[in-house]
Structure 1
C-alpha cells in the first residue's frame, strides 16, 4: 500500500482570502516537491462552479495557485462540492494506485479540508492531516468568535480524535512529513 499527497483547493482566487495564503502555498509546494522526489503521487483538487462565479473554470482566479509549481505528472481533479470524493474519480484514482493513506493539505480548513478528511475515512483511507498545511478564511469565523489559529487548532484536535471504522487521522507538521519522505 502507499501514500498520496492531496492538495485541496489551493486556487488563485482563494490565496488572498485565507490565513497566510502565500506562506501556506510555499509550504505545500515544498511538500509536493518532496513527495515527487520520493515517488509519492501528488493530487490537486480544484473547486469549480458555474460560469461567472468565483469558481468559473475559465477564470484565472479559479486556476490552481502557480506558487504550487504543479508538474505534468501531478493529477488535477475538478470537483463541485466540499467533499473531494463527491462526483469525482478521486476514490478510483487512489484505488488504482493502491493508496491507503492520504496526506491532506489545503483550504479551507473548516469546509473542503474537513469534508475531504471525513470522506477519506468513509472510503477506508487513513489520513495524515498536515497540521500546519491547511488554513481557513483570514478572519477566522467572526460569527463563532474563532480566530483562524483557533479554527486550525480545533480541526486538528477534532479530526485527530474522529472515530471511524474505515481509517484513522493523525496530525503531523509539514516538516515531519517531509522528513519521512526524505528517509524513504
Structure 2
C-alpha cells in the first residue's frame, strides 16, 4: 500500500449547487463528512490540496459563474495557499492547467474525492491514470445520482457508483475507503 504523505488531495466539484436537493436520489450520504475528514488530515499535515471547480457556460447550469451555485460549499472553501483548478468539462485535466501545476510541484500521487462518481471523478481519474499519476479514489468520499439507462429504466445511484469505481479500480487507480487512506 502506498504512503499518502506526498499525495495531493483533489476535491472535485464541491460547489453549492451539488448540495442542493436533486430530483434524483443519491448515494453515500456520508460522502461530504468523509471528504471533510480527508481535507482536515491533509491540512493538518501541510499537504497539497487541490480544489477543482466546474464553471459552465450554459446559462441554465447551476455551475454558471456569478451565481451562488457555482461557489464552493462553506466547509470546502479553499485556503489562500490551496490551488484551484477551473474546468469547463467533466475532466479536470482538460484545459485547466492541472497537469502543469502537478508537474511543477513534483506531485505524482493523487487522492481523489468528490462528485459525481460517474462524471467528473471518473473522467478525471481516467486522465490521471493515462498521464502516469498514481491515483487513489476514495470510494466513500464520492457520490452520484440515480439516472435513466438507455432502456429508460432507472439505475440506482449506488449501482452507478459501484460500476464507475469498478471501471477505475486496477486499471486507472486503486479504490480505497476514507479509513484506509487515513491509516496509511
**Shift in alpha-carbon separation, 1:21–1:170, aligned structure 2, 3 A:** closer
Long gaps (5+) in structure 2: none
Correspondence 1:146-157 to 2 at 5 A:
146-157=155-166
User: Is the contact between residue 108 and residue 135 of structure 1 (CA under 8 Å) also seen in structure 2?
Assistant: yes
User: What's the offset of the Cα at 1:52?
Assistant: 3.2
SS of the counterpart of 1:71?
coil
Distance in 1 between residues matched to 2:77 and 2:64, nearest whole Å: 21
Counterpart residue number, 1:141: 147
Shift of 1:28: 0.8
Matches within 5 A, 1:19-98: 19=26, 23-50=30-57, 52-54=59-61, 55-98=63-106
Residues 1:21 and 1:74: Cα distance change in structure 2 (over 3 Å)? farther
2:122 matched residue in structure 1: 114
Q: How far is the alpha carbon of 1:11 from its aligned partner?
A: 1.0
Please say if residues 15 and 21 of structure 1, whose CA atoms lie closer than 8 Å, have aligned partners that are also in contact: no
Contact 2:8–2:50 (Cα < 8 Å) also in 1? yes
Conserved? CA contact 2:78–2:84, under 8 Å = no
Q: In the alignment, is the contact (CA less than 8 A) between 1:15 and 1:22 conserved in 2?
A: no
Q: Secondary structure at the match of 1:49?
A: coil
Structure 1 residues 150 and 21 mapped into 2: Cα distance closer, same or farther (>3 Å)? closer
Paired residues of 1:8 and 1:44 also in contact (CA < 8 A): yes
Instruction: State the TM-score, normalizing by the size of structure 1.
Output: 0.85
SS at match of 1:13: helix
Corresponding pairs, count: 173
Gap regions ≥5 residues in structure 1: 163-167
Q: Which residue of 2 aligns with 1:3?
A: 7
Q: Find the residue that maps to 1:154 and give its secondary structure.
A: helix
**Distance between the aligned counterparts of 1:12 and 1:21, measured in 2?**
17
Match of 1:176 in 2: 180
